[in-house]
Amino acid sequence: MVWSAGLYRIYERNPADGPLSTDAASELILPEDQPLRIQAMTAFAAGDTADVTFRIRVGERVKHVRSVVDAVRDATGRPLKIYGIVQDVTARETARVRLADVERQLHEHQRTLAAEHRMAMRLQQIILPIPDAPVDLPGLRVAVRYLPAERASQVGGDWFHAAEVAGGGVLLAVGDVAGHGIQAATTMAQLRHALAALAVTTTSDPAALLGHLNHLLCAGGVAADTATVVIARYQPDSHTLTWALAGHPAPLRTRDGVTTELPRPRGPLLGVLADAEYENASISFEPGDLLVLYTDGLVENRTQGLGDGLAPVIATLNRITAAGSPQPLADLLGQLHRANPDDDTCILAARPLPGRVPAPPTDPVPGQLFQREFDLGSLVPLRHDITRHSADAGLADAELHWFVTAVNEIITNAVRHGGGTGQVALWIEDGRLYCRVADQGPGIPLARQRTDVRPAPDSLGGRGLWLAGQGCESVVIDSSAAGTRVTLSTLIPGR
């Protein structure tokens, strides 16, 4: 049995003492949760994945722990290798208990509008904490401002989301639930948490995420009838912004002092059509650009339309970016004012941060695994060497398979489209395995430098970069008429 460093932290155990035995770990589970453990063990013995959340007592503390256990089995179903993931979900479960307590109190006091408003505000503050300062995510700095309605009875369902996703990208979202009061605030919480869970467990594709949220609303999984949402994903390695809309105002992008309203890919309100389809759109989002996602309270009210309300927002964006402010996000949020005091307003602003991709070290610097030239005749031994060195570096199983597959695809592309020869370097830096493939071909067209879009089944190209995007933590493309360099990286477990 092998424990990760995180597992030792969860159980507050010194790694020098080694993992707990199965019996010792079971004794830490609270007696009332033992049936959950037994039920999970029964499911695992039957060949299913065990996924159970239970409480353990570590010292004087009680923690909520989620355990997911699966196995590689032989033809008879006997486990050959067991994998387990353990998460400390105490914060989530504590928040869930607090939310349940808030809802219980609301049922007791909902006969008066004043009581409903107080509880709605309390619920909103619990589930939608607004950061006081800009937050740095991979390749992106994000700032948020929330402007509550001036009338106490108009507490609404505006919300935001900003978090890292698999592959080194960042997922951003702003939404607006129809209506006001406790129902809107509750639905806002459910949509926000559903998006966070889906982005981790299912997909980070904006259009696909909107489809899942729409199914949730249409199936009656949440209380409100409709909602609008914009979801955007930023890939810092390619400086690509991909977004999708569900009846929501389009994002604004400012570049060189000029603000434009981004295109509106197809997508109706959430909760209207059960079979609704949503589409993505993409643009480049470079350092120096500014992105704003917002709810309609910023630009709409009873006396003016969207265009009239949008004009002063665009003017503010143009003025701030043209002035070259060292703190454009803070300046922007400080100067934007809502158009409708009867409606909540949520504003999310983001700008890319300059990134760095390490260069391959030159031999004999520590970390260099190998560096060599290749052509068509040397591909087979080169692939064997890449596999061997990657395994020696610490990759195994799925991580090894995906990384080697990605490198093979890029090397093959270099031979086919890069002049027939190339150079490859493999090295270790900061707990990651890097591979850089360079050629002197004519370069990759900008429209094809995408790693997040799967090519159509009948497409004759584009699969190499897509596969690289699936199998690596990051894919950085530097392409011009003088040649192309593609740098892949992946985390080395345990480093």
HEC sequence for the chain? CCCCHHHHHHCCCCHHHCCCCHHHHHHCECHHHHHHHHHHHHHHHCCCCEEEEEEEEECCEEEEEEEEEEEEECCCCCEEEEEEEEEECHHHHHHHHHHHHHHHHHHHHCCCHHHHHHHHHHHHHHHCCCCCCCEEECCEEEEEEEECCCCHHHCCEEEEEEEECCCCCEEEEEEEECCCHHHHHHHHHHHHHHHHHHHHHCCCCHHHHHHHHHHHHHCCCCCCCCEEEEEEEEECCCCEEEEEEECCCCCEEEECCEEEECCCCCCCCECCCCCCCCCCEEEECCCCCEEEEECHHHCCECCECHHHHHHHHHHHHHHHHHCCCCCHHHHHHHHCCCCCCCCCEEEEEEEECCCCCCCCCCCCCCCEEEEEEEEHHHHHHHHHHHHHHHHHHCCCHHHHHHHHHHHHHHHHHHHHHCCCEEEEEEEEECCEEEEEEEECCCCCCHHHCCCCCCCCCCCCCCHHHHHHHHHCCEEEEEEECCEEEEEEEEECCCC
Task: Output the pLDDT for position 342.
Answer: 65
Q: Does the pLDDT of residue 282 top 60, yes or no?
A: yes
In CATH, the number for domain 129-352 is: 3.60.40.10
Task: Output the pLDDT for position 229.
Answer: 96
pLDDT in tens, 149-170: 655 445 567 889 999 998 889 9
Going from N- to C-terminal start, the domains of the chain cover 5-88, 129-352, 368-491
Q: Which of 311-320, 334-343, 483-492 has the lowest mean pLDDT?
A: 334-343
Q: Does the pLDDT of residue 261 top 90, yes or no?
A: yes
Contact 454, 467 (CB under 8 A): no
Residues 79 and 489: their CA atoms lie apart, in Å, by: 32
Q: Does the pLDDT of residue 422 top 60, yes or no?
A: yes
Question: Mean pLDDT, the chain, as a whole number?
Answer: 82
The confidence band for 452, taking pLDDT boundaries of 50, 70 and 90, is low
The pTM of this model reads 0.49
Q: Does the pLDDT of residue 264 top 90, yes or no?
A: yes
Mean pLDDT, residues 259-277:
92
Q: What percent of the chain has pLDDT over 90?
A: 22
More confident residue, 289 or 420: 289
- To the question of domain 368-491 being in CATH 3.30.565.10, the answer is yes
Task: Output the pLDDT for position 397.
Answer: 87
More confident residue, 114 or 56: 56
Fold of 5-88: Beta-Lactamase (3.30.450)
Mean pLDDT, residues 176-183:
77
Q: Which of 163-167, 250-254, 335-339, 396-400 has the lowest mean pLDDT?
A: 335-339
